[in-house]
Amino acid sequence: MKLLLNTDDLWTAIDGYFEDCLVSRDEALEAALTASAKAGLPQINVAPNQGKLLMLLARAIGARRILEIGTLGGYSTIWLGRGLPPDGKLITLEAKPQHAEVARGNIARAGLDAIVEVRVGRAQGMLPSLADEGPFDLIFIDADKFGTPGYFQWAVKLSRPGSLIIVDNVVREGALLDAGGGDPDVQGMRRFFDLAGADKRVSGTALQTVGAKGHDGFAILLVTSEPGPEPSA
């Protein structure tokens, strides 16, 4: 294989192998991707093996309430929704009305409209009003990368000890290490890592990923003690 494929193609082929073996084909998920592409949404949803990881993590912690920041066409939303019991609840925040509309169709087709609520608006403005609806057992942060530090701080506030906070796109082809560059997305991600590393209320790690989505990564943080005032990092 090494002789036939460059590394990117090899990694993508291995994602395909994992999917063939472990992630069964699913009409609702495939229809969600088709409808999203047809509506012109960017194809930046989590990969199938990543979506399944989200579902498994939700199930592993017995999640009943999930918050997602950044819905797009609802692909990751459907995976997360499938990690919930029938009386669970998932709130997902999306800035663009058109994305939200496509997502609602996809979520209904997947039979999850009773437990999933898509809210339209900028997450920064909506997060403060979620305090009454928490705490959330799992929070998936996957919206604009510049906003990630602020979303992380809200995620901790909206959590309980034992909640998981998962952040997508923490590596971005290695751009993460470009400390002095002017890319606001990278600065956002670095600020997130500074905050997370200094925050005694969470214990986290991060993993690089390769394959269908290029070289990127996830951060996974466990909330370990009662949310209180933020540290001054």
**From the list 15, 94, 137, 199, which residue makes contact with ligand SAH (rule: CB under 6 A)?**
94
Interface with ligand SAH, residue 76, by CB under 6 A: yes
Detail the DSSP E strand segments found in the chain.
65-69, 89-94, 116-120, 138-141, 164-168, 202-209, 216-223
Rounded to whole angstroms, the Cα distance separating 73 from 216 reads: 20
- 3-state SS class at 40: coil
CB of 228 to ligand SAH, least distance (A): 26
CB of 141 to Mg ion, least distance (A): 9
Question: What is the per-residue binding string for ligand DHB in 125-164, x denoting contact by CB under 6 A?
Answer: -----------------x----------------------
- 3-state SS class at 159: coil
**From the list 153, 159, 169, 209, which residue makes contact with Mg ion (rule: CB under 5 A)?**
169
Token pair of 116 as six digits: 């999933």
CB of 169 to ligand DHB, least distance (A): 5
Give all strands of the β-sheet with 216-223 in edge-to-edge order: 116-120, 89-94, 65-69, 138-141, 164-168, 216-223, 202-209
Cβ nearer to Mg ion, comparing 159 with 209 = 209
Rounded to whole angstroms, the Cα distance separating 51 from 76 reads: 6
Ranges within 158-187 binding ligand DHB (CB under 6 A): 168-169
Interface with Mg ion, residue 216, by CB under 5 A: no
Interface with ligand DHB, residue 68, by CB under 6 A: no
Choices 23-31, 168-176, 185-193, 204-212; region in contact with Mg ion by CB under 5 A: 168-176
Residue 115's binding partner among ligand DHB, Mg ion, ligand SAH, none (Cβ under 5 to 8 angstroms by kind) is: none
Ranges within 111-150 binding ligand SAH (CB under 6 A): 122-124, 142-144, 147
CB atoms within 10 A of CB 43: 11
Rounded to whole angstroms, the Cα distance separating 170 from 172 reads: 6
Q: How far is CA 58 from CA 88, 180, 200, 213, in A?
A: 11, 36, 23, 22
Cβ nearer to ligand SAH, comparing 10 with 175 = 175
Output the CA torsion sign for 129, 103, 143, 18. Answer: positive
Q: Which residues bind ligand SAH (CB under 6 A)?
A: 44-46, 70-72, 75-76, 93-96, 99, 122-124, 142-144, 147
Q: Which residues bind ligand DHB (CB under 6 A)?
A: 44, 142, 168-169
